[in-house]
Structure 1
Amino acid sequence: MRITRVIVLGLLAVTAYYAQNEDAENQAIALAYHKLTGDPLDLQTVAQSSTAVRNASSFDRPDAVKTETARLQAQLNASDAGREFVMRVNDSISEYDHDRGEFYVVLFRPGYFVPIQAFRQQYQLVFANVEGARAIPMPKEEARSFDLQLQKLSRHVTNEIHFRVVGKGDPAGGVTGDRVIRAEILSSRLLDTNGNVVFLPKVAPLAASAPATPFDVLKADVAGFRVGVKVKDLEATLARTAGKPQRVTPKNGVDKFSGTLEVNSMGCSSYIGRRRPEPGPICVTAYFDKDEIVRAIRVERLFPWFDSEIFRKSLTQKYGAVASARNSGNGLELGWGPDVNETNHTERNYFHSALRAQYSADEDFMSRGGNSLPRIKVMLHLVDAQWASQH
Structure 2
Amino acid sequence: MGILSGTVAVCQFKVTGDLPSGDLYSYVAENLVKQAFQPIDQGAAEQSVGWVHLDDHRQMSFDTPSAFWRDHYVVFTLRRDQRKLPAALVKAYLQVAEHEYLAANPGFNRVPKQKREELKESVRLNLLTKTLPVPSTWDAVWDTRTGIVTFTSLSAPIIELFEAQFKKTFEGARLVAIHPYARAEAVVGEELMPALEKANLATSDAAIDLIRSNQWLGWDFLLWLLHRTMTEASEYRVNRPGPALADDPFVAYLNDRLVLMSVGEAGTQKITVAGPQDHFREAVTALAHGKRITESTIYLEQDENIWKLTLKGELFHFASFKSPKVAIEKGDHVDEGSEREAAFYERMYVVEQGLQFFDSLYAEFLKVRLGAGWGDELARIEGWLAGE
| TM-score grouping bracket, smaller chain normalisation | under 0.3
TM-score relative to the length of structure 2: 0.27
Structure 1 or 2: more helix by fraction = 2
The two structures have a TM-score, normalised by structure 1, of: 0.27
Higher RCO, 1 vs 2 (CA within 8 Å, ≥6 residues apart): 2
